[in-house]
Structure 1
Amino acid sequence: MKKIDLSKQEIEVVQEVLDHWQEQGLLEQSKVTELKDNIGEKGFEWKTMARYAFWVALASLVFAVVSLFSDDALVKFVERFYETPNLVFCVLFGALAALFYVLGFRNKKRFPEKTFSNETLMLAGSFATAACIGFFGQVVDRNTSHFTILFLLSIVIYGILSVKLQSKLIWIFTLVALGIWFATETAYHSDWGFRFWGMNYPLRFTIFGILLTVFAIWGQPRVPVLQPLHSTSYVVGLLYTMIALWCLSIFGNYSDFAAWTEVRQYEIFYWGLLGITLSLGLALYGMKVKDNVSRDIGFMFFLLNLYTRFVEYLWDNINRTVFFLILAVSFWFVGRWSEKIWKKKGAS
């Protein structure tokens, strides 16, 4: 019989569960021994290494491009292409993007278990697509500042590709491009100012994130081709909302830095209170319905908002030793609270 390979920590958990069932009379000794013998310890974590290797490869690619412009010999080599028409680069990056997508789609069908290498090809295709769209913008629109149409074009391209290739990674690019388009489009209609309809960027993106989350929950499941990407939209929508709301709790609805520096934090306390309330409600909702995503994001931003308020109101008002002592004690209580929840769930 083929053994199941688990990590050392997972083996300890499984053995504790088997021993507990044996003590409760749910399993006989012979069966427990048989099950324990069917467990093997994992060797080297090749999957983890593969994930990190692909991340390092992508990071190295970015650093290679950056280093290209700091090397004199390479700079001189690149300068030879300055007179090359933008159309050539547009076609070149378009061809590269198509190549990466074809390879990624083919590998995904032939080797679906090679998750990291397949997604790396998709990611490379996404970067090539962005470069192609950028050069396309230079070709067709050199004189106008309304370049937000290019972001709209990238949304359409990424959206179609993510649906056709069933790639959650490209769908993330779609939602990021959607956020960039929203920011630039509203900025364009406000004459490139920081306020649009009386709202600064954090307030705008708080509303944007809420709308995206609502669409992910109620709208996307009703669209058959978008159903497989529902969970990704939900996570990205929550992150848009909570990050923007956290920034709003710090800066308020101010778009002028000089005006913001003259404002005391208690004058925009209601934004912080809203952030704490929403994140706590999200965490409690996640625990109630066993939604790990909303629970983790809510709990993370609840602590972030709580400690942001702590720093804002106490950093300049109390002794540093007392400040860090309070911080240590508060984290200890958070740890104890988490430990009690963990034990309670383990007992149940």
Structure 2
Amino acid sequence: MKKLDLTKQERDVVENALDHWQTSGLLETSKIEELKQTIDERAFEWKHLARYAFWIALVSLIFAVFSLFADDALIRFVERFYETPNIVFCLFFAGLAVLFYFLGFRNKKRYPEKTFSNETLMLAGSFATAACIGFLGQVLDRTTSHYTLFFLLSIIIYGVLSVKLNSKLIWVFTLVALGIWFGTETAHHSNWGFKFWGMNYPLRFTLFGLLLTTFALWGQEKIKPLKPFQSTSYVVGLLYTMIALWCLSIFGNYSDFDAWTQVRQYHILYWGILAILLSLGLALYGMKTKDHASRDIGFVFFILNLYTRFVEYLWDNINRTIFFLLLAGSFWFVGRWAERIWRKGK
């Protein structure tokens, strides 16, 4: 009989459940022992190693590109290409993107179990696509700073590719490109100022995140090609909303740094209260509905907003020793609270 391959934590959970059923008299001891014999503990988390290895590979690739500009010999080599027309770079990255997408799609069909290597190829193709569109902007729009049409083009490209290749990773790029397009489009219509219709960037992106989350919950499931990416859109929408709202709670709806420095934080306390209430509501909603994404995002930003307010109102007003003692005590309280919930669940 083929054994069930579980991690140590998963095996402990299953064995605790079997022991509970044995104590409750739901299963006989002989049956419990028979079931335990079908469990095999996984020796090493190769899946996690693969994920982290691919992530490190991508980060190393990015650092390699930045290191290029720190090496004198490489700089002299690159300087030879300064006079190369932008159209050449555009075509080069376009070809590179097609190559990565082709390899990723082919490997996905041949080796669907190789999730991380396939997604890495898709990610490389997405970076190449972004570079291609950037150089295309240099080719077609040299005299103005209105690049929003090219970001709109990247949204279309990423959207089509994510549907055709069924890639959630590329769909994330689609939503990131959508956010960049939204920011540049509103900036263009405000003459590249910080305010659009009286809203600075944090307030704009708070509303943008809410609209994206609303679309993910009630609109995306009605569009058949986009339905598989509904959960991804939901998480990205929540992150847009909570990150922007956290920034709004710090800077308020100010677009001038000097004006913001003259304002006491309690004048924009209502944004902080809104951020705390929304994150707490999100965490409670996630706990009630077993929605782990809402629960985790809500809990993280609830703690983040609480400690942001803690630093804002106490850092300059109390002794540093007392400040850190209060900080340590609050973290101890959070740890005890989390431990109580964990033990209750166990």
Deviates more, 1:71-80 or 1:335-344: 335-344
Give the CA RMSD over aligned residues.
Answer: 1.1
More divergent stretch after superposition (328-337 vs 125-134): 328-337
**SS of the residue aligned with 2:84?**
coil
User: Which residue of structure 2 aligns with residue 312 of structure 1?
Assistant: 312
Alignment match, 1:216: 216
Q: Give the counterpart letter for 2:98 in structure 1.
A: A
Counterparts of 1:35 and 1:268, CA distance in 2: 60
Partner of 2:201: 201
Q: CA deviation at 1:335?
A: 2.2
Match of 1:230 in 2: 230
Q: CA deviation at 1:172?
A: 0.5
Alignment partner of 1:89: what SS? helix
Post-superposition CA distance 1:14-40 (Å, at most 9, x none): 222211111111111111111111111
Matched residues in 1 for 2:343 and 2:54: separation? 37
Give 1:56's aligned amino acid: I
- The TM-score, its normalising length taken from structure 2, stands at 0.97
**Which residue matches 1:10?**
10
Query: What residue is the counterpart of 1:296 in the other structure?
Result: 296
Equivalence map 1:59-138=2 (5 Å)? 59-138=59-138
TM-score normalised by the chain length of structure 1? 0.97
Aligned equivalents of 1:101, 1:123: Cα separation in 2 = 9
Report the AA paired with residue 232 of structure 2: T
Counterpart of 2:251 in structure 1 is: 251
Supply the distance in 1 between the matched residues of 2:87 and 2:163 (Cα, whole angstroms): 28
Deviation at residue 342 of structure 1 after TM alignment? 2.5
Task: Please tell me whether residue 48 in structure 1 is matched to residue 15 in structure 2.
Answer: no
CA deviation map 1:275-301 (0-9, x unaligned): 011111111111111111111111111
- Give 5+ residue unaligned stretches, structure 2: none
Structure 1 window deviating more from structure 2 (75-84 vs 303-312): it is 75-84
Offset from partner CA, 1:136-184 (integer Å, 9 cap, x none): 1111111111111111110110011011111110000011011111111
In the alignment, the residues of structure 1 paired with residue 8 and residue 288 of structure 2 have an alpha-carbon distance, to the nearest angstrom, of 31
Deviation at 1:267, TM superposition (A): 0.6
Cross-structure match for 2:153: 153
**Residue range with higher mean Cα deviation, 69-78 or 165-174:** 69-78
| Partner-residue secondary structure (3-state), 1:214 | helix
- Equivalent pairs counted in the alignment come to 346
Partner of 1:260: 260
1:31 equivalenced with 2:31 (yes/no) = yes
Aligned equivalent of 2:174? 174
Instruction: Tell me, in whole angstroms, the C-alpha distance in 2 between the residues paired with 1:329 and 1:135.
Output: 53
Q: Give, in whole Å, the separation in 1 of the partners of 2:259 and 2:178.
A: 30
| Counterpart position of 1:335 | 335
Q: In 2, Cα distance between the equivalents of 1:73 and 1:335?
A: 52
| 2:128 maps to amino acid | A
- Greater alpha carbon shift after TM alignment, 4-13 vs 78-87: 4-13
Structure 1 distance, partners of 2:295, 2:143, is: 48
Deviations 1:47-93 (A, max 9, x none): 11111111111111111111112111111111222222211111111
Q: Distance in 2 between matches of 1:297 and 1:228?
A: 21
**Unmatched tracts of structure 1, length 5 or more:** none
Instruction: Give me the identity figure in percent.
Output: 77
User: Matches of 1:338 and 1:265 in 2, distance apart?
Assistant: 30
Structure 1 CA distance for aligned equivalents of residues 203 and 266 of structure 2? 18
Matches within 5 A, 1:276-287: 276-287=276-287
Please give the alpha-carbon distance, in whole angstroms, between the structure 1 residues aligned to 2:45 and 2:282.
34
Q: What amino acid is the match of 1:109?
A: K
Structure 2 counterpart of 1:169, one-letter code: L
Amino acid at match of 1:268: I
- For the residues of structure 2 that align with 1:126 and 1:107, how far apart are their CA atoms? 16
Residue 107 of structure 1: how far off its partner (Å)? 0.8
